[in-house]
Amino acid sequence: ILNVEQSPQSLHVQEGDSTNFTCSFPSSNFYALHWYRWETAKSPEALFVMTLNGDEKKKGRISATLNTKEGYSYLYIKGSQPEDSATYLCAFKGGSQGNLIFGKGTKLSVKP
C-alpha cells in the first residue's frame, strides 16, 4: 500500500509569518508530485507539478522543493496572508500511467 503523509495536519500562523509544510511519499517508482490548494466547498486548484529531483518551483509567494531520493517535498509560503488560508494537498504519481495518491492535506489558517 502506497502512503502519502502530510505534516502538520493543521497550522495556525499570524499574517506576515512565513511557513512551510511537508509531504512524504514513496521514493520508489516516482513519476510526479502534485500540489493543490483547496478551499472547502470549492474546487482544488493546481499549484505545481514536480517531476525532477531537486526541482524548485515558485508561484508568487508560494514555492516548493522536491527530493525524490528521500521521498519528500516542502511547500513554503512567504509572508502569509489571510487569503492563503486553505488546505494544501499533495499527491504522488507512481509511474506514467499511475493514479494520483493524495495525502490528507495540511490545513493552514492565517490570522489577520
Partner 1 sequence: GEEVAQTPKHLVRGEGQKAKLYCAPIKGHSYVFWYQQVLKNEFKFLISFQNENVFDETGMPKERFSAKCLPNSPCSLEIQATKLEDSAVYFCASSPSTGYSNQPQHFGDGTRLSIL
Using CB under 8 A, list all residues that contact partner 1.
Answer: 4, 31-32, 34, 36, 41-46, 49, 51, 89, 91, 93, 96-97, 99-105
CB of 89 to partner 1, least distance (A): 7
Rounded CA-CA distance 100/26 in Å is 13
Q: Which is nearer to partner 1, 13 or 101 (CB)?
A: 101
Q: Give me 76's grid cell.
A: 513554503
Rounded CA-CA distance 62/107 in Å is 15
Q: CA-based Rg of the chain, rounded to a whole angstrom?
A: 13
Q: Mark 54-63 as b/e (b = at least 16 C-beta within 10 Å).
A: ebebeeeebb
Q: Which is nearer to partner 1, 16 or 95 (CB)?
A: 95
Q: Which is nearer to partner 1, 61 or 104 (CB)?
A: 104
CB of 63 to partner 1, least distance (A): 16
